[in-house]
Structure 1
Amino acid sequence: MTYPRIVSVFGATGLQGSAVVDALLKDGTFIPRAITRDPNSALSQKLKARGVQVVRGDSLDKESLVSALEGSEAVFAVTVINFSRADGKDEATQGRNMVDAAKEVGVKFFIWTGLPGMKRITGGKLQNCTHFDDKEIVQEYLKSSGLPHASLMLPAFLENLWRYDALKKTPTGYTFSWPLPPSKRLQFAWIGRDVPAAALALLKNYTDGSKLKEINGKAYAVVNAKMSHAELAEKMSKVLGVEVTYAQSPPMGIVEMDETWEFINQYEGYYTTPIPNPDLVALGMKFSTVDEFLEVEVKARYGQ
């Protein structure tokens, strides 16, 4: 008897998870299962209509995750940002619950989307960016769990152009603002394209015993470009056919976010892997390019 190959996806209504669900449906090798706190929401119902399994699971309630993950071959895990350290809803707690539940039900492979720890890299100088530090806590916990796994290490999201309203219309084109100097070079990815492509490459290779030895426990930087915001603005100008000028915006006034910009400003290029990552390419992944992103996403949203 053959059993369905279920991949349970956290964050299936968000940017990363929804892109992974789309890729799994298109590929057809695996059945996506969306783990959500509200299976009756409008977004959950839309997923059901597309053939996605939708089950209730709360990342702050491990027992609900045990039920939700039952029968899953693999898990794609992403946590919800929560800067509060006092209410017990932090990302470290969410991630550890996901790992524990996956191990309890016998999940065979676990994909974690991670970030480097700022406290570690800065020697304790930056203490408040819990989003980065919690991700690293979970990654280390996952390593100690014994679960076969891999981590996808994410850079700046190209989608933040509209997610954070970074482009503003002007009489002659657009202004592009971010809390970093124009010459500061960042590592980027088209998250909606590159994360699912990386996840599928891992899922299709981990069952090969010799490849699992290479994959298991490895952290893969998912980066499609390294450039400054001024360079990105210039590329957008060419694609949109209007002037796009970059201007550094002031700090956001949110200590966790402002420390993020300080970290990026001081520690440019914290992933040292060549671009594109040759290890993911060797697994069959095809990376996107910034030019493709601008043609497909930016032109559709901002083109005249």
Structure 2
Amino acid sequence: MSEQQIIAVVGATGAQGGGLVRAILADQSGRFAARALTRDPGSARAEELAALGAEVVEADLDDAAGLREAFKGAHGVFVVTNFWEPRTHEEEQARPATTRELEQAGNAARAGRDAGVRHFIWSTLPDTRGYFRPGDGTPTFGGTYKVPHADGKAEADRLFLESGVPTTFLQANVYYEAFQDMFAPQRDERGALVLHLGFGDARVPAQAAEDIGRTAFGVFRRGEVLAGRRVSVAGSVLTGDQYAAALGQALGEAVTYQPVGPDQIRAAGFPGAGEVGNMLQYLITAEQDIVDLIDGELLRELNPRLQSFDTWLATHRNTIPH
């Protein structure tokens, strides 16, 4: 058998990276070897990946020299940053999450270039700013951002292009797993199940977390032919009413969709309400562009096990609070 090609996976103990590592290790062809990068090789998740056969290597996106070493000999590198990593108020003031993501993405892009990596997959998101009108009253963050966790990643796209390393831009949508907590249906005063979501009447794509990693694996298998391509992962594209109907079918009890407007979300006052409201407004305003980006045929080729929402619910119905 020819020598295995190493795929270095940043964030290997997270949802996206972990899914990719497991997909590599489950592949019977043995074409690739998984190098799982983590800041804490002694964590339970890291040790679990090592037991499955991954090479676990300590690496930190803030350590450019360490990244170059971790990327040496790798054919491909999967890069994801964590905007939502818990941080103190002082840390956020000193180095905003968007600044941190840009710096980390730059470190990874340059390290891959210097290490001779042949293929990047960068886990990115869309730039939402073109979908907001100047003076429309929506809040702006960090001077320019409307949805910082998306817009910052979109800005980082250019860093991978500038590296000269062939890069595929992988884009996740709403997670099915959100219906296990913040999107879970709630009981109203009559005891009926209600799905309160800010999707309006828009069709909103979603996918299982593990399908992001499986799709990334499919991209590495396909190779550099997908360089420069933006691959948007979605197992289902449904309206709020359709998500409610699917939940009702799985739970054996009717679920009614009650849309919540972006303005209501922004006025709710919880931490991050402004950004969440803006994100939902983007999903509604940009609906057609978001849906048009999804290539269902390509996704099924890259990930034959891609799960629809109904399929996912069939095995996760007991995890939906109701």
Q: How high is the TM-score relative to the length of structure 2?
A: 0.81
Q: Which amino acid aligns with 2:202?
A: K
Question: Would you say the 8 A contact 1:13–1:44 is kept in 2?
Answer: yes
Deviation at 1:116, TM superposition (A): 1.0
Structure 1 residue aligned with 2:165, among 144, 147, 161?
147
Give 2:107's aligned residue.
Answer: 97
Give 1:111's aligned residue.
Answer: 121
Could you tell me how far apart the structure 2 residues matched to 1:54 and 1:144 are? 29
What does residue range 244-283 of structure 1 map to in structure 2 within 5 Å?
244-248=255-259, 250-251=264-265, 252-254=270-272, 255-273=274-292, 276-281=295-300
Structure 1 residue aligned with 2:217, among 196, 200, 205?
200
**Cα gap change, 1:114/1:64 in structure 2, threshold over 3 Å: closer, same or farther?**
same
Q: Secondary structure at the match of 2:180?
A: helix
Q: Aligned-residue CA RMSD in angstroms?
A: 2.8
**Cα gap change, 1:165/1:187 in structure 2, threshold over 3 Å: closer, same or farther?**
closer
Q: Which amino acid aligns with 1:150?
A: T
User: Within the alignment, does 1:78 sit opposite 2:63 as a pair?
Assistant: no
Q: Which amino acid aligns with 1:14?
A: G
Question: Would you say the 8 A contact 1:224–1:275 is kept in 2?
Answer: no
Question: Would you say the 8 A contact 1:57–1:64 is kept in 2?
Answer: yes
Deviation at 1:8, TM superposition (A): 1.1
Q: Which amino acid aligns with 2:306?
A: F
Encode CA deviations 1:146-165: one digit per residue, 9 max, x unaligned: 10121112221222112536
Deviation at 1:234, TM superposition (A): 0.8
Deviation at 1:274, TM superposition (A): 6.7
Q: Which moved more, 1:167-176 or 1:226-235?
A: 167-176
**Cα gap change, 1:172/1:122 in structure 2, threshold over 3 Å: closer, same or farther?**
closer
Q: Which moved more, 1:250-259 or 1:225-234?
A: 250-259
**Cα gap change, 1:50/1:286 in structure 2, threshold over 3 Å: closer, same or farther?**
closer
User: Within the alignment, does 1:25 sit opposite 2:25 as a pair?
Assistant: yes
Deviation at 1:176, TM superposition (A): 2.7
Could you tell me how far apart the structure 1 residues matched to 2:152 and 2:170 are? 15
Q: How many residues align?
A: 295
Structure 2 residue aligned with 1:58, among 57, 60, 74?
60
Encode CA deviations 1:199-256: one digit per residue, 9 max, x unaligned: 12221121xxxxx3x4221112222322122210111111221232333455244132
Question: Would you say the 8 A contact 2:181–2:321 is kept in 1?
Answer: no
User: Within the alignment, does 1:39 sit opposite 2:57 as a pair?
Assistant: no
Deviation at 1:81, TM superposition (A): 0.8
Could you tell me how far apart the structure 2 residues matched to 1:237 and 1:290 are? 12
Question: Would you say the 8 A contact 2:240–2:259 is kept in 1?
Answer: no
Could you tell me how far apart the structure 2 residues matched to 1:13 and 1:224 are? 23
Give 2:149's aligned residue.
Answer: 131
Question: Would you say the 8 A contact 1:96–1:141 is kept in 2?
Answer: yes
User: Within the alignment, does 1:48 sit opposite 2:50 as a pair?
Assistant: yes
Q: How high is the TM-score relative to the length of structure 1?
A: 0.85
**Cα gap change, 1:229/1:57 in structure 2, threshold over 3 Å: closer, same or farther?**
same
Give 1:241's aligned residue.
Answer: 252
Deviation at 1:134, TM superposition (A): 1.4
Deviation at 1:283, TM superposition (A): 5.4
Q: Secondary structure at the match of 2:40?
A: coil
Question: Would you say the 8 A contact 1:91–1:131 is kept in 2?
Answer: no
The gaps in structure 2 that reach 5 residues or longer are 86-91
User: Within the alignment, does 1:289 sit opposite 2:308 as a pair?
Assistant: yes
User: Within the alignment, does 1:219 sit opposite 2:230 as a pair?
Assistant: yes
Q: Secondary structure at the match of 2:257?
A: strand
Question: Would you say the 8 A contact 1:187–1:269 is kept in 2?
Answer: no
The gaps in structure 1 that reach 5 residues or longer are 207-211
Q: Which amino acid aligns with 1:58?
A: D
User: Within the alignment, does 1:184 sit opposite 2:184 as a pair?
Assistant: no
**Cα gap change, 1:117/1:123 in structure 2, threshold over 3 Å: closer, same or farther?**
farther
Question: Would you say the 8 A contact 1:234–1:244 is kept in 2?
Answer: yes
Q: Runs of 4 or more off by more than 6 Å in structure 1? A: none
Q: Secondary structure at the match of 2:20?
A: helix
Give 1:209's aligned residue.
Answer: none
Deviation at 1:82, TM superposition (A): 4.8
Q: Which amino acid aligns with 1:105?
A: A
